[in-house]
Structure 1
């Protein structure tokens, strides 16, 4: 348990060093679950990299999981924008219900 916490702290340190403020181009903070529905997957990728001495080949499944998450929620938000639904990305509680209904989680 303690090593998992240390890995999480180290992953956060690495991410903040690479991406100060975790902000995207619009200025939204990406370290917030409301703005980034794939934050758990991103954190898992960083932790995997850290635990495997940044050997990308050993973390392929984490990268693929993150890519699929971004693709799913990106298409979801695009459909909502096209239909005039605001906000384009629902809140975390609503996203959890959507995933539960799709039995993806």
Structure 2
């Protein structure tokens, strides 16, 4: 890590920001610093990694999908995994709900 990070981390006052802890890897509920110190990720990295870091099944799924299509704009385009997931979600939804809107955050979802 550089002596003073150029990254402006969330919820910090940049001029007063203490040095961030450098994380080299994660596995399950644990984060590991570059010097080998293990830290329990008790908040799942802000609730994003609920199944743990580097879960083998998730890593395999991401790898498989990235080898076929890493990303595509959703305006005017679609892809099979999104269509398949939307159909499954509609099966679980109450009657009358026939469309799924995928969003990347809670703010966009409402």
Same fold (TM over 0.5): no
Task: Return the structure number with greater strand share.
Answer: 2
- TM-score, length-scaled by structure 2: 0.24
- TM-score, length-scaled by structure 1: 0.24
